[in-house]
């Protein structure tokens, strides 16, 4: 198993929020163990972005209300901005980067591109990760189930219609 240890970088940054009262943690992200120093209540989002260089999850509201930071933990979509890193040490974390690649995108990623289901794109991480958790639990959701699953993910650009169509396309239903 590959281990990424970025703790030295952190120690060398005296201004880092994570430097304060930090301790060693290891979490498993996209099948890889990530080792880092952080205070136990550090938001998972900060660790993923700052220590893991995983920039799929976005900082939107920072309050658990917009969904831009969504990742999957042990099969459930969670808001990484309000999840203390100490709460996920035993859970398998999947981020957008764990789904597919540019050369071989996940069906949801491909469907979002095919439907042009974004304007600025800031919400797309949360939309795709929430949809992924939905499809893992229910591979053939109907339109109302998709809308219900995504109802707490905000899109300030108003791309909801295309986003729902993209999720339908990924299920093999709908799409144009
Ligand atoms: S940034 Fe986490 S829910 Fe808005
Ligand atoms: S595409 Fe801009 S926030 Fe959704």
Structural domains in the chain plus CATH codes: 22-96 (3.10.20.30), 107-171 (1.10.150.120)
Best of 122, 125, 127 for a ligand 2 pocket test (most atoms within 8 Å of beta carbon): 122
Average pLDDT, stretch 59-69?
A: 98
Atom of ligand 1 nearest to the CA of 45: 2
Q: Which of 33, 51, 45 is nearest to 84 (CA)?
A: 45
Q: Give the ligand with the smallest distance to the CA of 124.
A: 2
Q: Model confidence over 89-111: pLDDT tens digits? A: 989 999 999 999 999 999 999 99
Phi and psi at 53, nearest 5°, equal 55, 35
Residue-wise DSSP of 88-138: GTTSEEE-GGGT--SSS--HHHHHHHHTT--SS-TTHHHHHHHHHHHHHH-
Cα Dmax for the chain: 53
């Amino acid at each position: 198993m590959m281990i990424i240890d970025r703790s030295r970088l952190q120690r060398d940054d005296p201004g880092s929020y994570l430097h304060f009262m930090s301790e060693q943690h290891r979490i498993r992200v996209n099948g890889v163990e990530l080792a880092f120093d952080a205070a136990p209540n550090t938001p998972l989002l900060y660790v993923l972005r700052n220590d893991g260089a995983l920039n799929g999850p976005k900082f939107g509201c920072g309050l658990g209300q917009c969904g831009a930071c969504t990742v999957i933990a042990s099969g459930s979509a969670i808001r990484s901005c309000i999840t203390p890193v100490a709460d996920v040490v035993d859970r398998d974390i999947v981020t957008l980067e764990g789904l597919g690649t540019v050369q071989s995108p996940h069906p949801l990623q491909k469907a979002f591109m095919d439907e042009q289901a974004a304007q600025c794109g800031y919400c797309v991480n949360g939309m795709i990760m929430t949809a992924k958790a939905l499809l893992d639990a229910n591979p053939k959701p109907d339109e109302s189930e998709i809308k219900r699953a995504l109802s707490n993910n905000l899109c300030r650009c108003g791309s909801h219609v295309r986003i729902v169509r993209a999720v339908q396309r990924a299920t093999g239903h709908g799409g144009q």
